[in-house]
């Protein structure tokens, strides 16, 4: 089973959670339309320690170097980056739209805050997605309980702080339920 935490050695720094990193790319043409969202998701790797994270991350392209319509999904092991997953069904996400040129720095700041447990919302964080698009890039942070207002507000405040967003930056909360409709 690929979705179990990898082993770590005693001299590594264990993370609170193990994570899996996924990649997806929208395929143009007929084949792309035939493939489900699930079939487009490719597992890149898993990690359970800080050292394993850097080992994986340093071999990856930065988000700004990716082609348009490519996404990275970083989720806790055991949670698939899909609305349909049990952990996401009642959840939602903060959506941050970024003008071109900011995404690599913001993505790194976000995942370091997530791995380091800076959000302080217990089990609530599910994962993060970065989406490279034509005119802008989008970063999303998914959490379990969309109806928990104090948690979603706390996540928003931490997100704004760790991304170093200007007060005018637009942040929007979407429940997965709304996205499905």
> Are the CB atoms for 107 and 51 separated by under 8 Å?
no
Cα–Cα distance measured from residue 96 to residue 166, given in angstroms and rounded to the nearest whole number:
12
State the residues that interact with other proteins by CB under 8 A.
Answer: 9, 11-16, 50-51, 54-55, 58, 109, 112-113, 115-118, 162
Question: Least CB distance from residue 109 to other proteins, whole Å?
Answer: 7
Helices in 5-79 by DSSP H: which ranges?
Answer: 29-34, 37-40, 50-57
Question: Least CB distance from residue 58 to other proteins, whole Å?
Answer: 7
Closer to other proteins by CB, 13 or 62: give it.
13
Closer to other proteins by CB, 42 or 161: give it.
161
Question: Least CB distance from residue 33 to other proteins, whole Å?
Answer: 40
**Sequence-distant (≥ 6) Cβ neighbours of residue 55 within 8 angstroms:** 47
């Amino acid at each position: 089973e690929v979705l179990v935490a990898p082993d770590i050695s005693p001299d590594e720094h264990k993370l609170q959670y193990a994570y899996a990193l996924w990649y997806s790319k929208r395929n143009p043409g007929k084949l792309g339309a035939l493939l489900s969202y699930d079939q487009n998701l490719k597992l890149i790797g898993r990690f359970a320690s800080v050292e394993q994270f850097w080992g994986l991350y340093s071999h990856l392209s930065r988000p700004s170097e990716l082609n348009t319509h490519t996404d990275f999904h970083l989720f806790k092991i055991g949670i698939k980056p899909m609305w349909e997953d049990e952990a996401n069904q009642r959840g939602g996400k903060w959506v941050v739209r970024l003008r071109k040129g900011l995404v690599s720095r913001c993505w790194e700041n976000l995942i370091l805050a997530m791995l380091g447990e800076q959000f302080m919302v217990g089990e609530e964080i599910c994962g993060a997605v970065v989406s490279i698009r034509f005119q802008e890039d989008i970063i999303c942070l998914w959490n379990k309980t969309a109806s928990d207002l104090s948690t979603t507000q706390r996540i928003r405040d931490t997100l704004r702080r760790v991304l170093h967003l200007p007060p005018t930056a637009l942040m929007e909360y979407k429940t997965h339920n709304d996205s499905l409709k």
